Structure 1
Amino acid sequence: MSLRRILHGIILQLRHCCWCRQAEAMETITFSPPLYKQRYQLVVELVEKLQARKVADLGCARCTLLSRLKFCSCIEVLIGVDTDLELLKENMYRVSPLPGDYLQPRPSPLSVRLYQGSVAVKDPRMLDCDFVSCIELIEHLDAAELARFSEVLFGYMNPAVVVITTPNADFNILFPGVTQFRHCDHRFEWSRSEFQAWCLDIGRTNAYSMEFTGVGVGPAGTETLGFCTQVAIFRRDPSRAKIKMKNSELPYKLVYEAVYPSLQNRKILHDAILNEVIFAAECVRRSFIDIDTGGQSEWRTCRADGEECARAAFSPEVSGPSFGGSPEVAGCPELSWSPEVTKIGAQLHIPVSTFFNNPRIRQLSDSLQQLQEVLQASNRVKLSHCGSSVLYPAGDEN
């Protein structure tokens, strides 16, 4: 085992001890939901409200907030920055695509990047952010780092919106075990007046307006102490936005990058359409068998191309919601029977227009013509000679 890993393990143990002491000191007050979840929820709701497209979390640590932000459909670029390389490597799985992301691709693209770097250092890849979060970060910076941090974030990065959270020192009186700071790694903890004075100075210097709020309500009768966590929401004055010159230096180290599957990719879009068509066809097959054996419909026999043919003539008494005046297909309420669905031999002939009536398939396909072109270009489905129907195995033994 390398010396670096040994030292990293010792640091983690010390951090764990700090968190244990902090938890013991704060166990007299509980928050529901837990305080960290309230902080993250505030950020997620604000990102969704603002429809931010490029979002960065500075001091992302275990990537917990990033793992929630990746589900915001508006985000196209998601960035996490932290100084702890090992911590990023251990937690980068949290922002990796899941199997469901391939089964249900996003409508818009998403790239997630994790960087090792200092928030007090300029990197041009952090420019053009719509939203930046700094959750319980600033109290871990010494005075020199804090000064550089505010200049880098507000003077250089110049994002449209910034959210900063930090402990409210006024609230610490409610924690009997806290003698100085809530965490052993904190360099300071500000009162509300100190925090607001720092924020107002940033706003005047960099043309930002701000709103002060917080999360974590104390017991009844302690309202004058404010929230446990104080929050500042900065909004850049658009008329005074600065134009930045990008430098060629890239001091941050890229630790991980993931590109999520998106319907903007032509191949992924076509695969999604085909998956929906095959699923819908299977729903038709199952309902065809159920109706054939359940006596809910009248069957007429005819001759088609020399083979025995069965065609469903639906009874108006068939129950269940309908689409276009015909009963829904079991297991797939969006796809309803068409009187034109026929069984010839061992195959079902399902008109392409029937699939286009499915809201999900219609959403993915711009037109019936595009749907037909996707089906014709694929070997995953079989079409009739004229291309107007999908041929799908009936799959019944009768």
Structure 2
Amino acid sequence: MFKYNLPNGGLHARCYINSNGEIKFDPPVYEQRYTTTIRILEDPCWGHKFKKVVDFGCAEMRLLSLLRRTEGIEHILEVDIDENLLRSNKQRAEPLVSDYLNKRETPLRIDLLQGSIDTAAEQLLNVDAVIALEIIEHLYPKTLENTPKNIFGFMQPKLAIFSTPNSEFNVLFEPLLANGFRHDDHKFEWKRSEFKDWALNICQQYPNYKVAFMGVGDAPPDRKDIGNVTQMAIFARCDLLDPSLHNELLSSKVAVDCGPDADMRYKEIFTVDFPVYIDERSKDQKILDEARYQISRCRRIDRYFNCDLRVYEVPLIVLRDYIENIGATMRELLAVLKENDIEVKEEHIILPEYDEDDFSYRQYDDCYDEDLGVWNDAGYDETGNDDERGACGGYSHTKGDTNYDAEENWD
């Protein structure tokens, strides 16, 4: 076992009894399960991004809208035994108009696959994370028995997240259905001790894994003894927690006997690749483009203008975060600036008062005579007073009611 806590203090949720005596959760429990799952996947404690993720028992694919926006994920397998359910909800996997207007910077493929959680299929190779929310209680005994073989023996993901109802909480749901459970398709509902025994037994069979437990959906304040409405187990492969593994990982070509349909392919219902923006610029070109954009922005900020020298002095540190965001260093930035004849002196980029290609500045100090084809001196009215000039005698960045210094934070 290992200890795990959600980052940033966990979820903020509440449980209450409404005026009809019904127990309610805010937000709803299914939303809490989804949010918890995404926060686990995004937790930097793993030191790893999970690129390929499978969502077993995806049903109507409600979790998919969050998964497709989760940082690092590039391939999502939506797997369910019900082919009709997958087909009727196929539109949830399709890109939106916004996905075409604002293309991703990393690839994303979504596969809808009809298959069982206990079947070792070729598509499951190299999966990084497994999600199995509220599915094991729907499995027949033989399927439940074979499930760990498929996931921890064949797939060997870095992370696996399971959730299932906590039967101790059912005292607040009475009366239950005729089968004695919360759902008419449930084959069982476990107490916390039973779920814990099942998870720990998996870790004994597959010592490359450790497990942590947590709950979702708090009980009312006076019934904390019954635990949460949903119990969750987080299986982490040991190399996520420390550098070593207990046993060597099986080759991706080795299939484990996980049932009668082992080593098969799931039936493919639908596959889509999301539109992606491919930036073909060289690294130096990206640095130069970013530097020029930030330099142009800084020309609108008065405090960078040296009135005595009639130049802009932009601190290099202003560009640091932008440069690091594209994976470059300050040393690389200096090299690109030098190569493109952009002057740097004492940790400052030195810019002329006007950009040669920007006539928007010159119009306040000069006036172009179209008939003569020349620029004439301007900027003073007939009384000899400064017109449109700042304190330094040059162009003022504040004109009328517009304060251009505010543009510093536009990006």
Instruction: Return the TM-score normalized by structure 2.
Output: 0.62
Deviations 1:71-97 (A, max 9, x none): 112101111100111111111211211
Q: Secondary structure at the match of 1:261?
A: coil
> How far did residue 298 of structure 1 move?
3.6
Greater share of helix: 1
C-alpha distance in 2, partners of 1:143/1:94?
31
For 1:320, which of 371, 379, 403 is the aligned residue?
Answer: 403
Q: Secondary structure at the match of 2:221?
A: coil
Counterpart of 1:258 in structure 2: which amino acid?
V
Aligned to 2:249: 242
Aligned to 1:253: 267
Deviations 1:275-330 (A, max 9, x none): x9xxxxxxxxxxxxxxx9xxxx84742257976889998424334244xxxx849x
Distance 1:305 1:76, change over 3 A: farther
CA contact (8 A) 2:123 2:265 kept: no
Counterpart of 2:26 in structure 1: which amino acid?
S
Aligned to 1:287: none
C-alpha distance in 2, partners of 1:220/1:167?
19
Aligned to 1:183: 183
CA contact (8 A) 1:158 1:241 kept: no
Question: Mind listing any 5+ residue stretches in structure 1 that lack a counterpart?
Answer: 1-25, 268-275, 277-291, 335-398
Aligned to 2:234: 233
* Segment of structure 1 superposing worse, 256-265 or 33-42: 256-265
Instruction: Kindly indicate whether residue 171 of structure 2 is the aligned counterpart of residue 173 of structure 1.
Output: yes
Distance 1:104 1:305, change over 3 A: farther
CA contact (8 A) 1:73 1:106 kept: no
Aligned to 1:31: 25
Aligned length: 282
CA contact (8 A) 1:108 1:262 kept: yes
Counterpart of 2:367 in structure 1: which amino acid?
T
> How far did residue 221 of structure 1 move?
1.3
RMSD over aligned CA atoms reads 3.4
> How far did residue 241 of structure 1 move?
4.8
CA contact (8 A) 1:54 1:129 kept: yes
User: What is the correspondence of 1:42-191 to structure 2 with a 5 Å cutoff?
Assistant: 42-49=36-43, 50=46, 51-178=49-176, 180-191=180-191
Distance 1:56 1:304, change over 3 A: farther
Distance 1:218 1:308, change over 3 A: farther
Q: Percent identity?
A: 34
Counterpart of 1:186 in structure 2: which amino acid?
H
CA contact (8 A) 1:61 1:87 kept: yes
Counterpart of 2:403 in structure 1: which amino acid?
G
CA contact (8 A) 1:73 1:108 kept: no
Aligned to 1:202: 202
Deviations 1:338-378 (A, max 9, x none): xxxxxxxxxxxxxxxxxxxxxxxxxxxxxxxxxxxxxxxxx
C-alpha distance in 1, partners of 2:254/2:269?
22
C-alpha distance in 1, partners of 2:410/2:135?
49
Deviations 1:19-70 (A, max 9, x none): xxxxxxx971100100000000011111111421111100111111112110
C-alpha distance in 2, partners of 1:126/1:306?
75
Q: Secondary structure at the match of 1:119?
A: coil
Distance 1:299 1:34, change over 3 A: same
C-alpha distance in 1, partners of 2:202/2:62?
28
Distance 1:219 1:300, change over 3 A: same
CA contact (8 A) 2:397 2:403 kept: no
Instruction: Return the TM-score normalized by structure 1.
Output: 0.64
C-alpha distance in 1, partners of 2:206/2:116?
21
Aligned to 1:20: none
Counterpart of 2:229 in structure 1: which amino acid?
C
CA contact (8 A) 1:124 1:246 kept: no
Distance 1:305 1:46, change over 3 A: farther
Q: Secondary structure at the match of 1:41?
A: helix
C-alpha distance in 2, partners of 1:75/1:309?
57
Counterpart of 1:254 in structure 2: which amino acid?
E
Distance 1:304 1:156, change over 3 A: farther
> How far did residue 333 of structure 1 move?
3.6
Deviations 1:195-231 (A, max 9, x none): 1001000011112111110101111211110000000
C-alpha distance in 2, partners of 1:206/1:154?
7
Q: Secondary structure at the match of 2:162?
A: strand
